Structure 1
Amino acid sequence: MKSVDELLDIARRAVGLGYDTLLNMAPGEVRHKSDRDTVTEVDLKIETDVRDFLSRVTPEAAFLGEEQGGQVDLNGDQDVWTLDPVDGTSNFAHGVPLCGVSLALIRNGRPIVGAIVAPFLGLRYHAAHERGAFCNDRQIQVSKTTELSEAIVSIGDYAVGPSAATKNARRIQLTTSLAENVERVRMFGSAALDLAWVAEGRTDATIILSNKPWDTAAGVLLAREAGAFVIDAGNTPHSITSTETIAVTPGVADSLLELVPRT
């Protein structure tokens, strides 16, 4: 079995493939997967390239990608790579630079290595279990904010597709509560950057009222390794089966959670 250090190196090399493609290839054809959910030629190319690379260097691991899926058990004994080839596809397709490639290795239901790159911002993040979190090879930590009125909090995208109105009622309630209590509310359109920026201390918290492993696994690991509390709306530790993803600097965790509407 490969060591964690070897797996982290592989993850960084893999997202490096996506870094170059995302930076240098136009979106090409933009297709609709479902209601207001799109995929570009770049998404498909990155997923294919990364999957092929990982199958060569880690043939023992399974693979789960956002675009092409995979038959995996994230809580099983087999290691699973999970990839979002372009996190923030809508941003990318519209020329908004807030997008990236997010890759994590899941072992026994938890991410143990993760790498995120945001090529248009020149940012490369990586983390491994109990080894810290890094941006451009500089170790990062969460902010030391202790007052909610001084906190910048990002939120995940509003829902689309079936039951969007019902789901968005809760999101709108959250937005209203935050707007009345925090310094600023932000919606970046990329779960990977939401979590990485909490890890880096650019923001103080993110609240994403959904949880897809390819969107969040790498960022969850980054945030944890940088000192964030990573939980769900029930204030229990975040897991691969959580329905929400909340990362927050410890100083405002209790006061922030009071604002999150329960299901």
Structure 2
Amino acid sequence: MADHAELMPIATQAVSMARTIIHHRAPAAVTTKGDRDMVTDVDLAVEEAVRAFLAKETPDIRLVGEEHGDSGTSESDLWWVLDPIDGTANFARGIPLSAVSLALVDGTQAVLAAIDMPFMNTWYTARAGGGAYANGEPMHCSAVKDLSDAVISIGDFAVGDGAAPKNRVRLALLAELGANAQRIRMIGTAATDLAWVAQGRLDATINLSNKPWDTLAGVLLVREAGGLVLDHDGSQHTSDSANTIAITPALKNEIMSRVAEARRG
């Protein structure tokens, strides 16, 4: 895999631009784009600004964004993936848990990551083989070994068609982990969940879905901080995975066995 370190300043400048927009523009319009799924005018403004910036700086690399989809075709295996505001429901209500998530992806794996939490004054970066950083300082996953000591976040419930069977798995998992883990949290932003696993604030996060704009930047953070990110079957997470399960290594067997049990029903 090639070293794309020279593109890191572009990635960090892009999320810094997004942070500035978010800090200076309160949401004025909220639009429904699906069952209990929303977008604000600020999401759109951020994505449009970052798209224009990346198109200028890296014209040969296509971009996939949550709000406007794929920018076009390219012969390169490289692509940017952007969530302009991960945690829109939080942002629209003034809850300060949201993040800008940007990754450079080579094939199905992120090679650069930049995540900014604009209301927490925290930003994260990672490069494949180069470590993970919070505000420029190296970070590492936790060393928690016992489920009874673990703080675990769970991704949002499914909505839309087919949500009921998916949520039965989530409810089973909540019941099992709630009875055995130290604490369960539902934060409402996958990028933050993953960044906090990388930082050791969480010991695992279980997201029973996989939208690349939500996950790929955070997946690289976790791996570069010494953690594992797996699909539900234990395979290594990629952009094509069904689920996104990030774990500090010592908890792998306990967490994955409970995910499997919840899926069996």
TM range, normalised to the smaller chain?
over 0.9
Alignment of 1:129-208 (within 5 A): 129-208=128-207
Letter of the 2:174 partner, please give it: T
Task: State the distance in 2 between where 1:142 and 1:72 align.
Answer: 36
Task: State the distance in 1 between where 2:4 and 2:174 align.
Answer: 39
Letter of the 2:200 partner, please give it: G
* 1:107 partnered with 2:106: yes
8 Å CA contact 2:61, 2:76 repeated in 1: no
* 1:43 partnered with 2:43: yes
> 2:24 aligns to what?
24
Task: State the distance in 1 between where 2:246 and 2:24 align.
Answer: 32
Task: State the distance in 1 between where 2:110 and 2:118 align.
Answer: 23
Task: State the distance in 1 between where 2:228 and 2:84 align.
Answer: 26
Letter of the 1:46 partner, please give it: V
The CA RMSD over aligned residues, in Å, is 1.5
8 Å CA contact 2:101, 2:191 repeated in 1: yes
Letter of the 1:19 partner, please give it: R
Task: State the distance in 2 between where 1:184 and 1:131 align.
Answer: 32
Query: Stretches of 4+ moved more than 4 A in 1?
Result: 71-74
Query: Please, which runs of 5 or more residues in structure 2 have no aligned partner?
Result: none
Letter of the 2:91 partner, please give it: F
Deviation string 1:92-131 (CA, Å, 9 cap, x unpaired) is 0000000010000111211000100001000100000000
Task: State the distance in 1 between where 2:66 and 2:55 align.
Answer: 16
DSSP-derived class of the 2:240 partner? coil
Deviation string 1:128-150 (CA, Å, 9 cap, x unpaired) is 00000000000000000001100
Could you tell me how far 1:21 is from its partner in structure 2?
1.1
Distance 1:37 1:105, change over 3 A: same
Letter of the 1:230 partner, please give it: V
Task: State the distance in 2 between where 1:247 and 1:23 align.
Answer: 30
Letter of the 2:140 partner, please give it: Q
Could you tell me how far 1:49 is from its partner in structure 2?
0.3
8 Å CA contact 2:98, 2:192 repeated in 1: yes
Could you tell me how far 1:240 is from its partner in structure 2?
0.9
Query: Please, which runs of 5 or more residues in structure 1 have no aligned partner?
Result: none
Letter of the 2:181 partner, please give it: V
Segment drifting more, 88-97 vs 247-256: 247-256
Distance 1:169 1:128, change over 3 A: same
Letter of the 1:218 partner, please give it: A
Q: Percent identity?
A: 46
DSSP-derived class of the 1:127 partner? strand
DSSP-derived class of the 1:188 partner? coil
Alignment of 1:64-79 (within 5 A): 64-70=64-70, 77-79=76-78
Deviation string 1:198-229 (CA, Å, 9 cap, x unpaired) is 00000100000000100000000000000001
Task: State the distance in 1 between where 2:219 and 2:3 align.
Answer: 21
Task: State the distance in 1 between where 2:28 and 2:194 align.
Answer: 28
Task: State the distance in 2 between where 1:178 and 1:9 align.
Answer: 40
Could you tell me how far 1:168 is from its partner in structure 2?
0.7
Could you tell me how far 1:78 is from its partner in structure 2?
2.8
8 Å CA contact 1:143, 1:202 repeated in 2: yes
Letter of the 2:64 partner, please give it: L
DSSP-derived class of the 1:96 partner? coil
